[in-house]
A = this chain, B = another copy of it.
Amino acid sequence: MPIPFVRHSEVDVLIIGAGPAGLMCANALACARVNVRIVDQRAFKVTAGYGDGISPRTIEVLQSYGLAERLLKESSQIHLMAFYNPSSTGGIELTNRTPDITASSARYPFEAALHQGAIQDIFLDSMTSLGVEVERSTMPTSIELSKDEHELKDPASYPVRVALQSKSEDEKREEIVHAKFVIGGDGAHSWIRKQFNITMDGEQSDDIWGVVDFVPDTDFPDVRNKCLAQSNYGSMFLVPREQDRVRAYVQLEDKDVINPVTGRVDKDKMGPEQIFKKLLEPYKLVQKSDFSWWTIYSVGQRVASQFSVKNRVFIAGDACHTHSPKAGQGMNASINDTHNLAWKIALAVRGWADMSLLSTYESERRKFALELIAFDKKWSTLVCGQPLTEQNSDGVSPEHLVKAFQTDFTSGIGIHYHPSVAVNDRYQEIAGGLVLGKRVPPYKFMRAADARPFELQDLLPADFLFKLLVFTGEFNDPLQQARVESMVVDMQKRESFLNRYVTLGNSPFDIITISKGRKETFNILRLPTLLRSHWSKVFVDDTDTTGSFGGEGYSYYGVGPEGAVVAVRPDGYVGAIAPLDRIEVLDAYFASFMKIPA
């Protein structure tokens, strides 16, 4: 018998699991031209169901990768949330319609609803265009992490050894992959997590919910809004979806299946239409189409005790946090996990990042996961609780529900990473609207050379560069001009961060200049050349030609006439702020997690 040939290979990053966390990560690393592979044990990709709501912040993130346009074309949009409560005459009645998103700085003030398969296709098609495909029917069978501390600290080493098994029609193939980094995006039952004995902390709840996707025939007026209907028989969520579909989340309990007269299970009561009838009385809701997807789940609210092993193996998405889908956060949390991780890994692979940067993945995303669980517990309790009625004065009032729902948390805009090597804590006061550890809020500036309006967020693409926003103030003021020119001298010093990390002509920095001035008179050629590497890099804080928007950017970002330099991380979060005459603050910030590649 021949000895089977086992292939050995090396890869910079191996991703296990092609769900939202894994695909976001694979696509991001492919964009960064990192050598990446992604495997999934499933033979086929998801085509329907699962997660569905993309939050405003996640739309911004997808936009930074150039993927939001397609999402916005294919998805339905949720602008309003409707609350229905028991009416005094029986059945339910509309108590409130309120904006689904209330975060005032949201660039996209709505949720985008689209089934997970279509969202994953957006990543898959982008990856394909970059030459990366998911290797399907492929699963890991063993994983070993080197114990050699020297090897673990050498960014050029391949300290993770993963055995992969792939099945085709009648053949099994084995491969040993040596990877610099491994990411487990392998779901709530994560195999990677179990291999490293990472515990999930938290508990299982008693709530059981059913979920169905279908095209409805209905006289229910809010079938195209997100809707929480709390009847005396239980709660139900309706979420509008692409192509006239809706998703219904239905709280399931004994009483849904037990006939209260006979006390016995009544199968005629069990179909979804009967459940809708009971929960949505007096409205009718029946399906026009077959159910395109359905499931039943119970909710566990748990967070992994650690998100990484020695900063070489990471887990992300459902592998490190599980919670109810009622706040619409699952897929968003997963996508934002690896959005946070990908640039750190890319910089590490390129030799720019110290291991200290990689540690911030766990500190930043575990903090977020704990906040998510806390929110989910509060929200689930309210939703599953009895509604306030004349008979039940202890119930949950509509006002209480609305208030609990309308937070910056659900929109994702509120994500706030605490000080670390990657988030400085100095000079917040000179740019109060650009909060250290939060994402750069959107604002429009005019490009100085051609008066074309640009959204600042679009100048911060996820291209794995740090953006330096140089707010020069009024350059025509001689005193301020002198300060700017002095700053340029400091930045151009050989030991400045700007020159320190340049290798083979590659710089991890991109300078965007935002001046005070009027488009009618501004002359970019007067600026020092460092601040205008190309004519397209200079902006003025002025109104557009129609006078409709713009012109208050300094004030919106809290930047005074003396200006500021703001370092934005590749993921769009504010990393550091420095006065023009304190460039050494940036030197220290970057030195805390970056190094000069070998």
Contact = CB atoms under 8 A, between A and B. Distances in A.
Interface of A: 76-80, 97-101, 104, 106, 109-110, 219, 221, 223-225, 240, 244, 446, 449-453, 519-521, 523-525, 535, 544-546
Contact of A221 (B100, B451, B523): B523
A38 B366 CA distance: 62
Nearest to A523: B221
Contacts of A225: 449-451
B99 A545 contact: yes
A524 B220 CA distance: 10
A545 to B, nearest CB: 4
Nearest to A76: B450
A552 to B, nearest CB: 15
Given A80-B519, A519-B80, A519-B97, A224 B546 contact: no
Contacts of A525: 219, 221
Can you tell how many copies of this chain the complex includes?
2
A97 B450 contact: no
A544 B524 CA distance: 37
A545 B101 contact: yes
Given A101-B545, A224-B450, A225-B449, 12 more contacts: A76-B450, A77-B452, A79-B545, A80-B519, A97-B519, A97-B520, A104-B546, A221-B523, A221-B524, A221-B525, A224-B449, A225-B450
14 contacts: A76-B450, A77-B452, A79-B544, A80-B451, A98-B520, A104-B546, A109-B544, A109-B545, A109-B546, A110-B452, A221-B525, A223-B449, A224-B449, A225-B451
Nearest to A453: B79
A452 B79 contact: yes
A535 B99 contact: no
Given A525-B219, A545-B99, A535 B224 contact: yes
Contacts of A223: 449, 535
Contact of A450 (B101, B240, B523, B535): B240
Closest 7 CB pairs of A and B: A99-B545, A224-B450, A224-B449, A79-B451, A80-B451, A97-B520, A221-B523
A468 to B, nearest CB: 23
A544 B520 CA distance: 32
Contacts of A521: 97
B221 A99 contact: no
A525 B520 CA distance: 52
A224 B449 CA distance: 6
Contact of A546 (B77, B97, B99): B99
A216 to B, nearest CB: 11
Contacts of A450: 76-80, 224-225, 240
Contacts of A451: 79-80, 97, 225
A240 B451 CA distance: 12
Nearest to A226: B450
Nearest to A546: B109
A80 B110 contact: no
Contacts of A449: 223-225
A266 to B, nearest CB: 32
Contacts of A101: 545
A52 to B, nearest CB: 15
Contacts of A544: 79, 109
Nearest to A97: B520
A240 B521 CA distance: 18
A99 B452 CA distance: 11
A545 B97 CA distance: 11
A370 B197 CA distance: 82
